[in-house]
Structure 1
Amino acid sequence: MKVAFIGLGVMGYPMAGHLAKAGHEVTVYNRTASKADQWCQEYSGKSAVTPAEAARDAEIVFTCVGNDDDLRQVVTGSQGVFSSMAQGATLVDHTTASAEIARELAIIAAEQGLTFLDAPVSGGQAGAENGVLSIMIGGEPAVFEKVMPVIDCYAKSAKLLGQAGCGQLAKMVNQICIAGLVQGLAEGVHFAKQAGLDASAVFDVIQHGAAGSWQMTNRHQTMIDDQFDFGFAVDWMRKDLKITLDEARSNGAQLPVTALVDQFYAEVQKLGGQRWDTSSLVKRLEQ
């Protein structure tokens, strides 16, 4: 298919690459043009100077940018993709954003004869590079069926969870669960060290039992080794948790642990850890 991919960050860059490797005709746009040029040198595809140019004649346009404001700019701005997308084309948004903007874009898309899916992802940079992301999707079933063969290029699992906005709500559930898991793991690592245990040996054992999780398997050793210069940045997590807590205030959900962990991440930021991996929660325990 002829597709466009807007946003070549740590997630979008390899995701667009999987589309090209699968044989799709890919046009990319990135705010920093040199990144798009680099992508074109690595993969079979071409770059555009505006989102509108990238989206022209594309059957599916993918976006993966920073936040609600970035998304509005590349979609509804004067040079946004909605200004050039052909009738019947589909916008698939992989940004982690609010459910509100997903619903907003779905309405605008329908008014313009377009279709829309909100499709935030989970699995981190490694998941994007290896093509094994989990994708939570909101939108119409017929549109979901249309794009699934393409999304499969970089998905391990993808599920339609309801109307527009439901994908973003599901991603909030994902971040709520991660926040508590990482804090528990941080406290476990800290306790093991304070108790004089061989922390690596402890986690080699318990990761195979009831306490096991993706976070424990992939992050316990780097936490023990004080390594955080990789992965999902604290700044990004705080952005996601703000969206989640705002939504909770709207729907009445009680998220005491999530709110507390968000404040712990604020302390990590004050330590200079804005770009550290989210597993850096352990650093504040060691102060």
Structure 2
Amino acid sequence: MRMKKQGSLLVAVMIVLAGVLSGCGADKNNDEAKAAAEGNSSGNAGKEITLKVGAAAVPHAEILEFIKPKLKEEGINLEIVTLDDEGQLNPALQEKQIDANYFQHVPYLDSIKEEKGYDFAVTAKVHVEPIGFYSEKLKSAEELPDGAKIGIPNNPSNEYRALVLLQQQGLIKLKDGLTTYEATPKDIAENPHNLEFVEADSATLPRALPDLDGAVINTNIVLESGIDPKSALFREDANSPYANVIVVRSGDENRDEIKKLDEALTSPDVKQFIEDKYGVAVVPAF
């Protein structure tokens, strides 16, 4: 009889324990389901992707700053990398220090990628910075004297670009057959005003203006130097082929975060931002 009672007691205890354990399991499952629901309600919580983009300080980095909040909403932490020497942004991309860069136009990229062995791809055209002719001594192009000293950028693609601008003004004539977006003063066929050309690093041209009759200067450098871009005596028009582009390593074109970067940079909001902030100095290319 005693053994029978003990057996009944043991069964009862086991039933109670089973109920407790079942309850714990249900609580655990409920907790996990709740956590999953909370995770889903927070979108990309905990899954944010950092995208490093190398850029020139003005206007490129400023435009990237404008789209930062939009990308943040899409789970992308945009990290903007600016370097004192913009020429290092392509090596940085090659060495995977950054995911993309935004500072150059296609003629410039074409002029160096074969020499350096870069395997890069262009994913979006964003804006044109019409290159212009600036002077501290002259009020108009008509005042340019014979024998004037004119500063021009000394990198191949921008030097060609500067010379083409001067040709459009009827100041010089280049040799026929220049098809590689590269030229130097040696490629001038006609120089009726005996202009003297001073080839210099683009960044130094604003400081050299007092010693020159004028200089052809890239707009981003004009902006960085505090020169009013409206003071250009003449400039490229909006049909310039020198649109500034997003460049990535070949094969990265289809990365989701790169596509979202391109979409954000070519949105109506960015177009409005560029027009409002920069006026004639920067022209949307989309």
Q: Normalising by structure 2, what TM-score?
A: 0.25
Query: Structure 1 or 2: larger helix share?
Result: 1
Larger radius of gyration: 2
| Structure with the larger RCO, 1 or 2 (CA within 8 Å, 6+ apart) | 2
Which one has a larger percent strand, Structure 1 or Structure 2? Answer: 2
